[in-house]
């Protein structure tokens, strides 16, 4: 009876958790629009300067920084959502029904 009740929420969370914002520092002109656009207040520009992915635990992967970057410096890259040695079969709540 309850099978699939939360399926949409699980799918949405899986999609959000499966990506992180990654900059291309060579193309970044440090305009700061990405940081200004972040609703959480993450200094995305600092990540763009260093070339490191935005690995801030507060990042909600909303995509505002990616969408507003005038030079297209930021992109979403897939990240592994399972720990090493863990498979989706070990998390039945994430399996497609």
Across 6-10, 38-42, 82-86, 93-97, which has the greatest mean pLDDT?
Answer: 38-42
pLDDT (tens digit, 9 = 90+) per residue, 29-80? Answer: 999 999 999 999 999 999 999 999 998 888 888 999 999 999 999 998 887 6
**Residue 44 counted as domain residue:** yes
**Residue 57 counted as domain residue:** yes
Residue 90's pLDDT is: 54
Spatial distance between the Cα atoms of 27 and 12, rounded to a whole number of angstroms: 31
Number of structural domains the chain divides into: 1
pLDDT (tens digit, 9 = 90+) per residue, 2-26? Answer: 555 555 555 555 555 578 899 999 9
Spatial distance between the Cα atoms of 11 and 42, rounded to a whole number of angstroms: 25
Are the C-beta atoms of 74 and 22 separated by less than 8 Å? yes
CATH number for the domain spanning 53: value is: 3.30.70.20
CA–CA distance from 21 to each of 37, 84, 87, 90 (Å)? 14, 21, 24, 27
- pTM equals 0.63
Q: Hey, which residues does 22 pair with through a beta bridge?
A: 75
**Residue 96 counted as domain residue:** no
């Amino acid at each position: 009876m309850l099978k699939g009740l939360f399926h949409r929420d699980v799918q949405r969370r899986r999609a959000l958790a499966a990506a992180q914002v990654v900059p291309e520092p060579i193309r970044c002109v440090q305009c700061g629009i990405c940081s200004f656009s972040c609703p959480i207040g993450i200094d995305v520009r600092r990540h763009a300067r260093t070339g490191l992915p935005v690995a801030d635990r507060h990042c909600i992967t909303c995509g505002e920084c990616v969408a507003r970057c005038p030079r297209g410096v930021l992109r979403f890259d897939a990240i592994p959502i399972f720990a090493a040695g863990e498979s989706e079969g070990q998390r039945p709540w994430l399996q497609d029904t």
